[in-house]
Amino acid sequence: MEFSSEWAKSQDEKDELRDFRNHFHLPQHDGKPCVYFTGNSLGLQPKTTVASIQQELDDWARFGVEGHFLAKNPWVSYHELFSEGTANLVGAKPEEVVVMNQLTSNLHFLMVSFYRPNAMRYKILCEAKAFPSDQYALQSQLKFHGHDSATSLLELHSRPGEHHLRTDDILNAIHEHRDELALVMIGGVNYLSGQVFEMEKITRAAHEAGAICGWDLAHAAGNVELKLHDWNVDFACWCSYKYLNSGPGSVAGAFVHERHLNTTDLPLFAGWWGHDKQERFKMDSTFRPMKTAERWQLSNAPVLSMAAYKASLEIFQQAGMKRLTSKSKRLTAYLDFILQELNAVQTPDKKFEIITPKDARGCQLSVVAYGRGKEMYNALMENGVIVDWREPNVIRMAPVPLYNSFEDVFRFGQIIQSIC
Protein backbone atom coordinates (compact mmCIF):
# COMPACT_ATOMS: atom_id res chain seq x y z
CA MET A 1 0.00 0.00 0.00
CA GLU A 2 1.04 3.56 -0.63
CA PHE A 3 -0.24 6.84 0.63
CA SER A 4 -0.42 8.30 -2.85
CA SER A 5 -3.02 9.38 -5.34
CA GLU A 6 -1.52 7.08 -8.00
CA TRP A 7 -1.80 4.01 -5.80
CA ALA A 8 -5.40 4.82 -4.83
CA LYS A 9 -6.33 5.40 -8.46
CA SER A 10 -4.74 2.14 -9.54
CA GLN A 11 -6.85 0.28 -6.95
CA ASP A 12 -10.01 1.96 -8.17
CA GLU A 13 -9.21 0.97 -11.74
CA LYS A 14 -8.88 -2.66 -10.68
CA ASP A 15 -12.05 -2.57 -8.59
CA GLU A 16 -14.84 -4.54 -10.28
CA LEU A 17 -17.44 -2.76 -8.13
CA ARG A 18 -16.25 0.76 -9.01
CA ASP A 19 -19.24 1.58 -11.24
CA PHE A 20 -21.69 1.19 -8.36
CA ARG A 21 -20.56 4.59 -7.09
CA ASN A 22 -22.35 6.10 -10.09
CA HIS A 23 -25.61 4.54 -8.91
CA PHE A 24 -25.69 6.93 -5.92
CA HIS A 25 -26.16 10.64 -5.25
CA LEU A 26 -23.06 11.91 -3.45
CA PRO A 27 -23.48 15.04 -1.31
CA GLN A 28 -21.36 17.92 -2.64
CA HIS A 29 -18.92 20.31 -0.99
CA ASP A 30 -17.50 23.27 -2.95
CA GLY A 31 -18.64 21.70 -6.21
CA LYS A 32 -16.93 18.36 -5.50
CA PRO A 33 -18.31 15.15 -4.05
CA CYS A 34 -17.80 14.93 -0.30
CA VAL A 35 -15.79 12.14 1.20
CA TYR A 36 -18.85 10.44 2.64
CA PHE A 37 -17.85 8.09 5.46
CA THR A 38 -21.20 7.93 7.24
CA GLY A 39 -22.96 5.16 5.38
CA ASN A 40 -23.06 3.48 8.80
CA SER A 41 -25.43 6.21 9.93
CA LEU A 42 -27.46 7.05 6.84
CA GLY A 43 -26.68 5.34 3.55
CA LEU A 44 -26.73 7.42 0.37
CA GLN A 45 -29.65 7.64 -1.99
CA PRO A 46 -29.56 5.37 -5.04
CA LYS A 47 -30.40 7.22 -8.25
CA THR A 48 -33.14 4.67 -8.91
CA THR A 49 -35.00 5.49 -5.68
CA VAL A 50 -37.11 8.25 -7.21
CA ALA A 51 -38.42 6.03 -10.01
CA SER A 52 -39.17 3.24 -7.57
CA ILE A 53 -41.30 5.52 -5.39
CA GLN A 54 -42.79 7.24 -8.43
CA GLN A 55 -44.05 3.87 -9.68
CA GLU A 56 -46.15 3.44 -6.55
CA LEU A 57 -47.36 7.05 -6.59
CA ASP A 58 -48.44 6.63 -10.21
CA ASP A 59 -50.21 3.37 -9.50
CA TRP A 60 -51.94 4.95 -6.54
CA ALA A 61 -53.06 7.88 -8.73
CA ARG A 62 -54.20 5.51 -11.45
CA PHE A 63 -55.89 2.77 -9.47
CA GLY A 64 -56.69 4.11 -6.02
CA VAL A 65 -57.55 1.21 -3.74
CA GLU A 66 -57.43 -1.20 -6.66
CA GLY A 67 -53.66 -0.76 -6.62
CA HIS A 68 -53.54 -3.38 -3.89
CA PHE A 69 -54.14 -5.89 -6.68
CA LEU A 70 -53.62 -4.02 -9.96
CA ALA A 71 -50.41 -2.09 -9.31
CA LYS A 72 -47.36 -3.25 -11.22
CA ASN A 73 -46.10 -4.50 -7.86
CA PRO A 74 -49.38 -5.32 -6.10
CA TRP A 75 -49.33 -3.76 -2.64
CA VAL A 76 -51.10 -6.67 -1.01
CA SER A 77 -48.00 -8.80 -1.52
CA TYR A 78 -45.46 -5.97 -1.76
CA HIS A 79 -43.34 -7.22 1.15
CA GLU A 80 -42.85 -10.54 -0.64
CA LEU A 81 -40.64 -8.75 -3.17
CA PHE A 82 -38.04 -8.48 -0.40
CA SER A 83 -37.88 -12.07 0.83
CA GLU A 84 -35.23 -13.40 -1.50
CA GLY A 85 -32.95 -10.34 -1.42
CA THR A 86 -33.21 -9.98 2.35
CA ALA A 87 -32.57 -13.68 2.89
CA ASN A 88 -29.39 -13.36 0.80
CA LEU A 89 -28.25 -10.37 2.84
CA VAL A 90 -28.47 -12.07 6.21
CA GLY A 91 -27.92 -15.73 5.31
CA ALA A 92 -31.45 -16.94 5.89
CA LYS A 93 -34.20 -18.83 4.12
CA PRO A 94 -36.77 -16.56 2.49
CA GLU A 95 -39.47 -17.72 4.90
CA GLU A 96 -37.30 -16.72 7.88
CA VAL A 97 -37.20 -13.01 7.05
CA VAL A 98 -39.67 -10.20 6.74
CA VAL A 99 -39.45 -6.49 6.06
CA MET A 100 -41.69 -4.54 8.44
CA ASN A 101 -41.97 -1.70 10.98
CA GLN A 102 -38.84 -0.11 12.34
CA LEU A 103 -35.93 -1.44 14.30
CA THR A 104 -36.81 -0.67 17.90
CA SER A 105 -40.43 -1.68 17.29
CA ASN A 106 -39.27 -5.00 15.89
CA LEU A 107 -37.00 -5.53 18.87
CA HIS A 108 -40.00 -5.19 21.15
CA PHE A 109 -42.32 -7.31 19.03
CA LEU A 110 -39.77 -10.10 18.83
CA MET A 111 -39.05 -9.94 22.54
CA VAL A 112 -42.76 -10.48 23.17
CA SER A 113 -42.18 -13.91 21.65
CA PHE A 114 -38.61 -14.58 22.69
CA TYR A 115 -38.14 -12.96 26.07
CA ARG A 116 -40.43 -14.96 28.31
CA PRO A 117 -38.93 -14.90 31.77
CA ASN A 118 -39.96 -17.18 34.59
CA ALA A 119 -39.05 -17.14 38.27
CA MET A 120 -35.74 -18.92 37.64
CA ARG A 121 -34.74 -17.61 34.26
CA TYR A 122 -35.28 -13.92 33.72
CA LYS A 123 -31.91 -12.22 33.14
CA ILE A 124 -30.86 -10.57 29.90
CA LEU A 125 -27.21 -10.33 28.93
CA CYS A 126 -26.08 -7.53 26.61
CA GLU A 127 -22.96 -5.51 25.90
CA ALA A 128 -22.25 -2.37 27.92
CA LYS A 129 -22.44 0.69 25.67
CA ALA A 130 -25.13 -0.91 23.54
CA PHE A 131 -26.97 1.59 21.39
CA PRO A 132 -29.24 3.57 23.75
CA SER A 133 -32.46 2.51 22.02
CA ASP A 134 -31.56 -1.13 22.68
CA GLN A 135 -30.79 -0.37 26.30
CA TYR A 136 -34.15 1.35 26.73
CA ALA A 137 -35.90 -1.53 24.99
CA LEU A 138 -34.24 -4.13 27.23
CA GLN A 139 -34.79 -2.12 30.42
CA SER A 140 -38.43 -1.54 29.59
CA GLN A 141 -39.03 -5.21 28.73
CA LEU A 142 -37.57 -6.18 32.10
CA LYS A 143 -39.73 -3.64 33.86
CA PHE A 144 -42.79 -4.78 31.91
CA HIS A 145 -42.23 -8.30 33.25
CA GLY A 146 -41.73 -7.02 36.78
CA HIS A 147 -37.94 -7.24 36.95
CA ASP A 148 -35.46 -4.65 38.08
CA SER A 149 -32.94 -3.90 35.36
CA ALA A 150 -30.32 -2.94 37.96
CA THR A 151 -30.06 -6.61 38.88
CA SER A 152 -31.53 -8.38 35.87
CA LEU A 153 -29.73 -6.69 33.01
CA LEU A 154 -26.18 -8.03 32.80
CA GLU A 155 -24.04 -5.56 30.89
CA LEU A 156 -20.65 -6.83 29.80
CA HIS A 157 -17.81 -4.34 30.01
CA SER A 158 -14.52 -4.55 28.23
CA ARG A 159 -11.43 -5.05 30.35
CA PRO A 160 -9.75 -1.93 31.74
CA GLY A 161 -7.72 -0.23 29.01
CA GLU A 162 -9.47 -2.20 26.24
CA HIS A 163 -12.19 -0.97 23.93
CA HIS A 164 -13.69 -4.21 22.73
CA LEU A 165 -15.14 -7.27 24.40
CA ARG A 166 -13.20 -10.50 24.34
CA THR A 167 -15.21 -13.44 23.07
CA ASP A 168 -13.99 -15.61 25.95
CA ASP A 169 -15.24 -13.07 28.46
CA ILE A 170 -18.66 -13.17 26.82
CA LEU A 171 -18.73 -16.97 26.75
CA ASN A 172 -17.64 -17.15 30.38
CA ALA A 173 -20.29 -14.68 31.47
CA ILE A 174 -22.97 -16.69 29.69
CA HIS A 175 -21.75 -19.85 31.37
CA GLU A 176 -21.55 -18.21 34.78
CA HIS A 177 -25.19 -17.07 34.60
CA ARG A 178 -26.46 -20.20 32.88
CA ASP A 179 -29.15 -20.91 35.45
CA GLU A 180 -30.76 -17.48 35.32
CA LEU A 181 -30.24 -16.35 31.79
CA ALA A 182 -33.35 -16.03 29.63
CA LEU A 183 -31.94 -14.01 26.75
CA VAL A 184 -28.62 -12.99 25.21
CA MET A 185 -29.20 -9.91 23.10
CA ILE A 186 -26.19 -8.15 21.59
CA GLY A 187 -25.53 -5.85 18.63
CA GLY A 188 -23.83 -7.96 15.93
CA VAL A 189 -21.50 -5.05 15.22
CA ASN A 190 -21.12 -2.56 18.04
CA TYR A 191 -22.16 0.89 16.81
CA LEU A 192 -19.45 2.70 18.76
CA SER A 193 -16.37 0.51 18.56
CA GLY A 194 -17.19 -1.20 15.25
CA GLN A 195 -16.37 -4.58 16.79
CA VAL A 196 -17.94 -7.55 14.97
CA PHE A 197 -18.99 -10.15 17.50
CA GLU A 198 -18.48 -13.88 17.02
CA MET A 199 -22.15 -14.48 16.51
CA GLU A 200 -21.98 -18.20 15.90
CA LYS A 201 -19.97 -19.00 19.03
CA ILE A 202 -22.01 -16.70 21.23
CA THR A 203 -25.28 -18.11 19.92
CA ARG A 204 -24.08 -21.63 20.63
CA ALA A 205 -23.02 -20.71 24.16
CA ALA A 206 -26.39 -19.06 24.82
CA HIS A 207 -28.17 -22.22 23.69
CA GLU A 208 -25.92 -24.41 25.84
CA ALA A 209 -26.91 -22.25 28.78
CA GLY A 210 -30.58 -22.78 27.95
CA ALA A 211 -31.13 -19.20 26.81
CA ILE A 212 -32.51 -17.65 23.66
CA CYS A 213 -30.13 -15.64 21.50
CA GLY A 214 -31.17 -12.55 19.53
CA TRP A 215 -29.08 -10.07 17.58
CA ASP A 216 -29.50 -6.42 16.69
CA LEU A 217 -27.92 -6.21 13.27
CA ALA A 218 -28.32 -2.48 12.61
CA HIS A 219 -24.58 -2.15 11.98
CA ALA A 220 -24.12 -5.61 10.53
CA ALA A 221 -26.74 -5.93 7.78
CA GLY A 222 -25.17 -4.93 4.48
CA ASN A 223 -21.78 -4.55 6.18
CA VAL A 224 -20.58 -8.05 7.06
CA GLU A 225 -21.46 -11.53 5.87
CA LEU A 226 -24.10 -13.16 8.01
CA LYS A 227 -25.33 -16.73 8.23
CA LEU A 228 -28.22 -16.42 10.61
CA HIS A 229 -29.81 -19.71 9.64
CA ASP A 230 -26.64 -21.79 9.90
CA TRP A 231 -25.62 -20.06 13.11
CA ASN A 232 -28.94 -21.11 14.62
CA VAL A 233 -29.77 -17.58 15.72
CA ASP A 234 -33.23 -17.47 17.29
CA PHE A 235 -34.21 -14.02 16.13
CA ALA A 236 -32.66 -10.84 14.80
CA CYS A 237 -33.67 -7.42 13.58
CA TRP A 238 -32.01 -4.52 11.82
CA CYS A 239 -32.78 -1.18 10.25
CA SER A 240 -32.28 -0.58 6.55
CA TYR A 241 -31.35 3.10 6.41
CA LYS A 242 -27.70 2.59 7.44
CA TYR A 243 -25.67 0.32 5.15
CA LEU A 244 -28.82 -0.66 3.27
CA ASN A 245 -29.57 2.83 1.91
CA SER A 246 -33.35 2.75 2.21
CA GLY A 247 -33.75 6.39 3.32
CA PRO A 248 -34.24 8.11 6.69
CA GLY A 249 -36.37 6.13 9.11
CA SER A 250 -37.34 3.63 6.45
CA VAL A 251 -38.79 0.18 7.02
CA ALA A 252 -36.73 -2.41 8.95
CA GLY A 253 -36.12 -6.17 8.78
CA ALA A 254 -36.56 -9.15 11.04
CA PHE A 255 -35.47 -12.78 11.17
CA VAL A 256 -36.97 -15.71 13.03
CA HIS A 257 -35.30 -19.09 12.74
CA GLU A 258 -37.20 -21.81 10.91
CA ARG A 259 -37.40 -24.00 14.01
CA HIS A 260 -39.69 -21.42 15.65
CA LEU A 261 -41.98 -21.18 12.65
CA ASN A 262 -43.83 -24.45 12.98
CA THR A 263 -44.87 -23.98 16.57
CA THR A 264 -48.04 -22.00 16.91
CA ASP A 265 -47.92 -21.63 20.68
CA LEU A 266 -45.40 -18.76 20.71
CA PRO A 267 -47.02 -15.72 22.25
CA LEU A 268 -46.99 -12.69 19.99
CA PHE A 269 -48.73 -9.38 19.45
CA ALA A 270 -50.79 -10.16 16.40
CA GLY A 271 -52.22 -8.13 13.55
CA TRP A 272 -54.04 -8.98 10.35
CA TRP A 273 -50.92 -9.06 8.20
CA GLY A 274 -49.62 -11.98 10.27
CA HIS A 275 -52.77 -13.98 9.58
CA ASP A 276 -52.77 -16.74 6.99
CA LYS A 277 -52.74 -14.80 3.74
CA GLN A 278 -55.07 -17.18 1.90
CA GLU A 279 -57.74 -16.44 4.48
CA ARG A 280 -56.93 -12.83 5.31
CA PHE A 281 -59.79 -11.19 3.50
CA LYS A 282 -62.39 -13.53 4.94
CA MET A 283 -62.10 -11.19 7.91
CA ASP A 284 -62.45 -14.04 10.36
CA SER A 285 -62.01 -13.11 14.02
CA THR A 286 -59.79 -16.13 14.83
CA PHE A 287 -56.10 -15.46 14.25
CA ARG A 288 -54.41 -18.15 12.18
CA PRO A 289 -50.68 -17.40 12.23
CA MET A 290 -48.58 -17.79 9.11
CA LYS A 291 -45.79 -20.33 9.21
CA THR A 292 -43.20 -17.81 8.07
CA ALA A 293 -41.62 -14.76 9.69
CA GLU A 294 -44.51 -12.84 8.14
CA ARG A 295 -46.44 -13.96 11.21
CA TRP A 296 -44.89 -11.08 13.14
CA GLN A 297 -46.26 -8.46 10.73
CA LEU A 298 -49.06 -6.43 12.17
CA SER A 299 -50.01 -3.97 9.49
CA ASN A 300 -50.17 -3.76 5.76
CA ALA A 301 -46.93 -2.67 4.12
CA PRO A 302 -45.76 0.98 4.13
CA VAL A 303 -45.30 0.82 0.38
CA LEU A 304 -43.77 4.26 -0.22
CA SER A 305 -41.00 3.70 2.28
CA MET A 306 -40.52 0.16 1.05
CA ALA A 307 -40.26 1.34 -2.54
CA ALA A 308 -37.11 3.25 -1.56
CA TYR A 309 -35.70 0.13 0.07
CA LYS A 310 -36.56 -1.92 -3.01
CA ALA A 311 -34.32 0.27 -5.20
CA SER A 312 -31.38 -0.26 -2.87
CA LEU A 313 -31.94 -3.96 -2.38
CA GLU A 314 -31.79 -4.45 -6.14
CA ILE A 315 -28.33 -2.87 -6.12
CA PHE A 316 -27.20 -5.17 -3.32
CA GLN A 317 -28.46 -8.14 -5.29
CA GLN A 318 -26.30 -7.09 -8.24
CA ALA A 319 -23.20 -6.39 -6.18
CA GLY A 320 -23.50 -9.39 -3.84
CA MET A 321 -22.30 -9.49 -0.23
CA LYS A 322 -19.27 -11.63 -1.09
CA ARG A 323 -17.80 -9.10 -3.46
CA LEU A 324 -18.78 -6.22 -1.21
CA THR A 325 -17.12 -7.63 1.89
CA SER A 326 -14.04 -8.52 -0.08
CA LYS A 327 -13.65 -4.92 -1.29
CA SER A 328 -14.64 -3.63 2.13
CA LYS A 329 -11.70 -5.41 3.77
CA ARG A 330 -9.23 -3.82 1.36
CA LEU A 331 -10.80 -0.37 1.59
CA THR A 332 -10.82 -0.32 5.38
CA ALA A 333 -7.30 -1.75 5.51
CA TYR A 334 -6.23 1.21 3.36
CA LEU A 335 -7.86 3.67 5.75
CA ASP A 336 -6.15 1.91 8.63
CA PHE A 337 -2.81 2.10 6.78
CA ILE A 338 -3.17 5.84 6.13
CA LEU A 339 -4.01 6.56 9.76
CA GLN A 340 -0.88 4.61 10.78
CA GLU A 341 1.21 6.56 8.26
CA LEU A 342 -0.05 9.80 9.76
CA ASN A 343 0.58 8.49 13.26
CA ALA A 344 4.20 7.74 12.37
CA VAL A 345 4.95 11.45 11.96
CA GLN A 346 2.94 12.70 14.95
CA THR A 347 4.26 13.47 18.38
CA PRO A 348 3.05 10.84 20.91
CA ASP A 349 0.42 13.16 22.40
CA LYS A 350 -1.15 13.66 18.98
CA LYS A 351 -1.48 10.09 17.81
CA PHE A 352 -4.84 8.59 16.86
CA GLU A 353 -5.92 5.39 18.44
CA ILE A 354 -8.03 3.05 16.35
CA ILE A 355 -10.26 1.28 18.85
CA THR A 356 -11.87 -1.10 16.35
CA PRO A 357 -10.26 -4.54 16.64
CA LYS A 358 -8.31 -5.35 13.50
CA ASP A 359 -9.38 -8.98 13.35
CA ALA A 360 -13.05 -8.30 14.07
CA ARG A 361 -14.25 -5.39 11.99
CA GLY A 362 -16.52 -4.53 9.11
CA CYS A 363 -15.98 -1.32 7.21
CA GLN A 364 -16.12 1.06 10.17
CA LEU A 365 -13.08 2.35 12.02
CA SER A 366 -13.62 4.17 15.29
CA VAL A 367 -10.86 6.54 16.20
CA VAL A 368 -10.03 8.35 19.40
CA ALA A 369 -7.99 11.52 18.88
CA TYR A 370 -7.05 12.32 22.43
CA GLY A 371 -7.80 15.83 23.57
CA ARG A 372 -8.56 17.22 20.15
CA GLY A 373 -11.19 14.92 18.74
CA LYS A 374 -13.92 17.52 18.42
CA GLU A 375 -11.55 20.02 16.83
CA MET A 376 -10.48 17.42 14.32
CA TYR A 377 -14.04 16.37 13.61
CA ASN A 378 -15.05 19.99 12.95
CA ALA A 379 -12.08 20.55 10.67
CA LEU A 380 -12.91 17.41 8.67
CA MET A 381 -16.52 18.49 8.21
CA GLU A 382 -15.40 21.98 7.07
CA ASN A 383 -13.24 20.33 4.45
CA GLY A 384 -15.94 18.18 2.91
CA VAL A 385 -15.28 14.97 4.82
CA ILE A 386 -18.45 13.67 6.43
CA VAL A 387 -17.66 11.48 9.43
CA ASP A 388 -19.48 11.34 12.72
CA TRP A 389 -18.82 12.22 16.28
CA ARG A 390 -20.01 10.19 19.24
CA GLU A 391 -19.67 11.47 22.75
CA PRO A 392 -17.45 11.46 24.63
CA ASN A 393 -14.54 11.20 22.19
CA VAL A 394 -15.03 8.86 19.24
CA ILE A 395 -14.87 9.73 15.54
CA ARG A 396 -16.48 7.01 13.46
CA MET A 397 -15.60 6.63 9.79
CA ALA A 398 -16.99 4.00 7.50
CA PRO A 399 -15.75 3.67 3.93
CA VAL A 400 -18.60 1.79 2.31
CA PRO A 401 -17.65 -0.56 -0.53
CA LEU A 402 -20.75 0.20 -2.62
CA TYR A 403 -19.95 3.85 -3.19
CA ASN A 404 -16.65 4.79 -1.56
CA SER A 405 -13.42 4.58 -3.50
CA PHE A 406 -9.76 4.20 -2.65
CA GLU A 407 -9.39 7.76 -3.87
CA ASP A 408 -11.91 8.85 -1.20
CA VAL A 409 -9.68 7.24 1.41
CA PHE A 410 -6.62 8.94 -0.05
CA ARG A 411 -8.37 12.34 -0.09
CA PHE A 412 -9.39 11.79 3.51
CA GLY A 413 -5.75 11.15 4.38
CA GLN A 414 -4.62 14.26 2.55
CA ILE A 415 -7.17 16.46 4.28
CA ILE A 416 -6.43 15.08 7.72
CA GLN A 417 -2.70 15.57 7.05
CA SER A 418 -3.27 19.21 6.21
CA ILE A 419 -5.35 19.66 9.36
CA CYS A 420 -2.63 18.11 11.51
Name the minimum Å distance from CB 395 to ligand PLP. Answer: 17
Nearer to ligand PLP, 103 or 206 (CB): 103
Contact 300, 274 (CB under 8 A): no
The alpha carbon of 317 is separated from its chain's Cα centroid by a whole number of angstroms, namely 17
Contact 336, 365 (CB under 8 A): yes
Helix axes 83-90, 303-319, angle to 10 degrees: 50
Query: Which of 81, 182, 218, 220 is the binder for ligand PLP (CB under 6 A)?
Result: 218
Nearer to ligand PLP, 102 or 366 (CB): 102
Question: Could you give the C-alpha distances from 82 to 270, 283, 312, 313, 359, in angstroms and in order?
Answer: 21, 26, 11, 8, 32
Determine the residue type at 236: A
187: contact with ligand PLP by CB under 6 A = yes
Contact 251, 119 (CB under 8 A): no
246: contact with ligand PLP by CB under 6 A = no
Residues 100-139 touching ligand PLP, rule: CB under 6 A, are: 102-104, 131, 133-134
Nearer to ligand PLP, 129 or 147 (CB): 129
In whole angstroms, give the CA distance from residue 256 to residue 97. 7
Name the minimum Å distance from CB 418 to ligand PLP. Answer: 32
78: contact with ligand PLP by CB under 6 A = no
Query: Which of 114, 122, 191, 412 is the binder for ligand PLP (CB under 6 A)?
Result: 191
Name the minimum Å distance from CB 191 to ligand PLP. Answer: 4
By DSSP bridging, strand 352-354 and strand 394-397 are unpaired
Cross-strand bridge partners of residue 323: none
SS3 string, 173-217, reads HHHHCCCCEEEEEEECECCCCCEECCHHHHHHHHHHCCCEEEEEC
What are the backbone angles phi and psi of residue 183, rounded to the nearest 5°? -150, 135
Sheet holding 123-127, edge to edge: 97-100, 252-256, 235-238, 212-216, 181-187, 123-127, 153-156
Binding mask 282-321 for ligand PLP (x = CB under 6 A): ----------------------------------------
Nearer to ligand PLP, 55 or 133 (CB): 133
Binding mask 83-102 for ligand PLP (x = CB under 6 A): -------------------x
Size of the site for ligand PLP (CB under 6 A): 12
Name the minimum Å distance from CB 105 to ligand PLP. Answer: 7
Query: Which of 23, 121, 163, 219 is the binder for ligand PLP (CB under 6 A)?
Result: 219
Q: What residue ranges bind ligand PLP (CB under 6 A)?
A: 102-104, 131, 133-134, 187, 191, 216, 218-219, 239
